[in-house]
Amino acid sequence: MKPDLSIVFANVKFKNPVLTASGTFGYGYELADLIPLEKLGGIITKTITLKPCDGNLQPRVAEVTSGILNSIGLQNIGIKSFIEEPLEKLKKLGVPVIVSIAGASVSEYVETAKILSCQNGISAIELNLSCPNLEKKIVCHDLSLVQNIIKEVKKISKIPVIAKLSPLVTDISELALAAENQGADGITLTNTYPAMAIDIKTFKSKLSTLKGGMSGACVKPMSIRCVYDAWQSISIPIIGCGGIMTGEDAVEFMLAGATAVSVGSSSLVSPINLIKIINEIEDIMIKKNILSIKNIIGMVNKNEKNNTCS
Amino acid sequence: MFGKRDFSCGNILSISYFVVRAINSLSLNTRFSKFVFLVNEKVAYIYISKRFDGNYKIISNREVRAGYFELIVKIDNITRYCSPGQFFMISVPEVFLRRPISIHYVKKDSLSFLYKVVGKGTKILSKIQSGTLQLLGPLGNGYDFKNWEQSSYTVVAGGTGIASIYYLATKLTQNGILYYGARSERDLVCLDKFKKMNWKVIISTEDGSKGYKGYITDMLLKGLNDTTLLIACGPTPMLKKVIQIAKVKCIKGFVSLEEKMACGIGNCQSCAVKINGQIRMICKDGPVFRIEEVEL
């Protein structure tokens, strides 16, 4: 029997758990010639802000062992242009669209969410609370600010709100719980890890902003730990994110507690990896005789508990 | 070669998207190189390059000069979609990201890439002698020189910029003047090829081991004829100077830009550049831009 890959996340139905990670898939529709976009579980757009944003100076990306550092600086066309064109095209793809947003203040988040909330065809809003590339500090390092943003956006949003959190906090479960308490419908764990690389030829940082966010295969075990910890303390669903290169990686995240996964760096290397990951998840399910992918969510927690009891 | 200037980018994307959806079952992972549609009942053409993501056999990968390698891969049915200035993202074992390398020349069933060993990725690549490599491309927009067939060409190449300039030279309808600058005589990798094509070549080296001692842009400034079409590919400081010279002398032309990139297809947004006051991606909107529009 064909295994069931469908999941429900914050009352939105996805045909499989594999989403594109914010900021790694453009506005989502440009790759129609390279991969069958309709096979994706969903698309999380790159982060949109109220006003257009030019982004940071060059260099914006540096390779590290098994991963990359980036410092794009939220380059985007702004919410107005986004609605006029990319959103119209995204709606026609036939997959759930989650729009990632960010702002320099609570009111910017709220204003952007308000505009999106009036649009048809958006399944959810993802709040980018952890982009480490803005001049101001990471939102997630200010707990009351995080709470405020989620609370205020939830007040006006007619669609589910997902909080994307930074992994670089003392206690990720505390932050996850705070998001849940303010009404978040789900969380994404994790965004990139603040990091730095220096060029020994020039004695300068490899990024124009000196520091950036690290992603790729090298961050996976740390992100899985975050998902595992958060799952213990919250009841809202989690999108697992960080270094997913294969179906096995995606399954690992789900076993740790993720209901869905988002894939970023891997699709930068090769967009077709997104489709391969979906196929590999299905292969693992057949091999392990798993009828529905929903059955494995957080299974490692349950297994560990059973072990402790016996 | 691309109809982009006649239509807004959005139109191109939407049209290509729907056509691709219609044909997905017939030819996976490809898009049309040219198709016809009606605008106000007039026939219009749009050219869009096809790009492919596949495994290709290595024919050879040999050192042509100390530190410089030429990789030749067997590629059937793709070379006709390649144009000068375009590049491929090449997978290299043991490193995370693919490496963008421009096309050096094209034969019916093979592609050549000329590259210099500059870091870990190119070092590993240079040691691979056989097997296959994963290549994504051809990517980006090349030189739109169709309307310039009557003019004379002045071509400036700095360092490995010569690799894609050679491909362009093989496609031009007439010979031009090449201004070729490099660190030292041993870095002048393509000199013989241009001499064979009977191009006039002006050389500079930073150490003075061959030709003029100094930067090639000094020679350009002295010798540049202002009725020519100027084309340049090389390191950013050189391009900055070329753009400045073009502005002063009001000369039109093209520059091929280079920047660190992760994906090569516009998704990571690493390789941003200001073109005519707007942020553009070198990988997707370039790497070749009109000289008068680039703000470096």
* DSSP reduced 3-state for A303: helix
Query: Contacts of residue A67 in chain B, CB cutoff 8 Å?
Result: 96
Rounded-to-integer distance, Cα A178 and Cα A234, Å? 9
Amino acid sitting at position A248: E
Mutate to test the interface with A, among B96, B117, B123, B276 (most CBs of A within 10 A): B96
Closest CA to A274 of A252, A245, A254, A249: A245
Of B17, B91, B271, the CB nearest to A32: B17
* DSSP reduced 3-state for B30: coil
Query: Contacts of residue B266 in chain A, CB cutoff 8 Å?
Result: 26, 30
Q: Where a domain ends, among B112, B139, B166?
A: B139
Mean pLDDT of A136-161: 90
Burial class (CB in 10 A: 0-12, 13-18, 19+), A304: exposed
Please tell me the pTM assigned to this model.
0.88
Examine the domain organization and report whether B275 and B226 are in the same domain.
yes
Is it the case that residue A96 has pLDDT exceeding 70? yes
Rounded-to-integer distance, Cα A221 and Cα A193, Å? 12
> Where does chain B have alpha helices with state H?
9-23, 120-126, 162-171, 191-196, 216-223, 236-249, 282-285
In terms of CA atoms, which chain A residue is nearest residue B91?
A269
> What pLDDT does residue A303 have?
75
What confidence tier does B150 reach under pLDDT thresholds 50, 70, 90?
Answer: low
Q: What is the pLDDT of residues A225-263, one digit of tens each?
A: 999 999 999 999 999 999 999 999 999 999 999 999 999
What confidence tier does B224 reach under pLDDT thresholds 50, 70, 90?
Answer: confident
Rounded-to-integer distance, Cα A252 and Cα A292, Å? 15
User: Which one-letter DSSP state was computed for residue A7?
Assistant: E
Pairwise CB contact (< 8 Å): B269 & A75? yes
B84 Cβ contact list (under 8 Å, min separation 6): B103, B142, B143, B164, B167, B168, B170, B171
Q: What is the pLDDT of residues B54-101, one digit of tens each?
A: 999 999 999 999 999 999 999 988 888 999 999 999 999 999 999 999
Query: Contacts of residue B261 in chain A, CB cutoff 8 Å?
Result: 61
Q: Where are the beta strands (DSSP E) in chain B?
A: 34-39, 42-47, 52-65, 68-74, 87-90, 99-102, 105-107, 110-116, 132-139, 153-158, 177-182, 200-205, 212-213, 229-233, 253-256, 272-275, 278-281, 288-290, 294-295
User: Which one-letter DSSP state was computed for residue B23?
Assistant: H
Examine the domain organization and report whether B256 and B117 are in the same domain.
no
What confidence tier does B152 reach under pLDDT thresholds 50, 70, 90?
Answer: confident
Examine the domain organization and report whether B192 and B242 are in the same domain.
yes
Domains of chain A in sequence order: 7-309 (3.20.20.70)
> What pLDDT does residue B115 have?
97
Which value, in Å, is the radius of gyration of the alpha carbons in chain A?
18
Examine the domain organization and report whether B89 and B32 are in the same domain.
no
> What pLDDT does residue A307 have?
61
> What pLDDT does residue B7 have?
31
> What pLDDT does residue B36 have?
42
Examine the domain organization and report whether B31 and B56 are in the same domain.
no
Rounded-to-integer distance, Cα A278 and Cα A34, Å? 16
Pairwise CB contact (< 8 Å): B95 & A63? yes
Is it the case that residue B142 has pLDDT exceeding 50? yes
What confidence tier does B147 reach under pLDDT thresholds 50, 70, 90?
Answer: low
User: B214 and B206 in contact (C-beta within 8 Å)?
Assistant: yes
Examine the domain organization and report whether B173 and B284 are in the same domain.
yes
Burial class (CB in 10 A: 0-12, 13-18, 19+), B17: buried
* DSSP reduced 3-state for B253: strand
User: A302 and A309 in contact (C-beta within 8 Å)?
Assistant: no
Q: Which residue do the tokens 């290549």 mark? A: B135
Examine the domain organization and report whether B88 and B178 are in the same domain.
no
Pairwise CB contact (< 8 Å): A55 & B272? yes
Q: Among the options A131, A218, A226, A241, which is catalytic?
A: A131
Q: Domain tally for chain B? A: 3
A221 Cβ contact list (under 8 Å, min separation 6): none
Rounded-to-integer distance, Cα B68 and Cα B30, Å? 32
Four-point Cα dihedral B285, B286, B292, B295, nearest 10: 80
Q: Which residue do the tokens 């989650």 mark? A: A98
Query: Contacts of residue B51 in chain A, CB cutoff 8 Å?
Result: 33-34
Q: Where a domain ends, among B139, B162, B177?
A: B139
- In percent, the amount of chain B with pLDDT more than 70 equals 81
Examine the domain organization and report whether B166 and B27 are in the same domain.
no
User: B190 and B105 in contact (C-beta within 8 Å)?
Assistant: no
Chain B nearest C-alpha distance from A104 (Å)? 21
Q: What is the pLDDT of residues B163-212, one digit of tens each?
A: 999 999 998 888 889 999 999 999 999 999 999 999 999 999 999 999 99
Pairwise CB contact (< 8 Å): A271 & B14? no
Chain B nearest C-alpha distance from A59 (Å)? 7
> Where does chain A have alpha helices with state H?
78-84, 86-91, 106-117, 143-156, 172-181, 220-233, 247-256, 265-269, 273-287, 299-309
- Helical pair B236-249 and B216-223, crossing angle rounded to 10 deg: 10
Chain A nearest C-alpha distance from B265 (Å)? 8
Examine the domain organization and report whether B282 and B170 are in the same domain.
yes
Domain of B19 in residue numbering reads as 4-47
∠ CA A204-A210-A215, nearest 5°, is: 115
Q: Where a domain ends, among B139, B157, B181?
A: B139
| CATH classification of the domain holding B67 | 2.40.30.10
- The answer to whether residue A218 is catalytic is no
In terms of CA atoms, which chain B residue is nearest residue A71?
B270
∠ CA A15-A20-A21, nearest 5°, is: 135
The DSSP secondary structure of A194-218, one letter per residue, reads: EEE-EETTTTEESSTTSEEEEESGG
Closest CA to A164 of A202, A191, A200, A142: A191
Rounded-to-integer distance, Cα A243 and Cα A64, Å? 13
Q: What is the pLDDT of residues B191-201, one digit of tens each?
A: 999 999 999 99
Burial class (CB in 10 A: 0-12, 13-18, 19+), B147: exposed
Q: Which residue do the tokens 């390279």 mark? A: A34
Chain B nearest C-alpha distance from A302 (Å)? 34
Pairwise CB contact (< 8 Å): B265 & A89? no
Rounded-to-integer distance, Cα A79 and Cα B201, Å? 51
Query: Contacts of residue B260 in chain A, CB cutoff 8 Å?
Result: 58-62
Examine the domain organization and report whether B288 and B151 are in the same domain.
yes
In the predicted model, what is the mean pLDDT of chain B?
Answer: 83
Rounded-to-integer distance, Cα A37 and Cα A299, Å? 30
| CATH classification of the domain holding B220 | 3.40.50.80
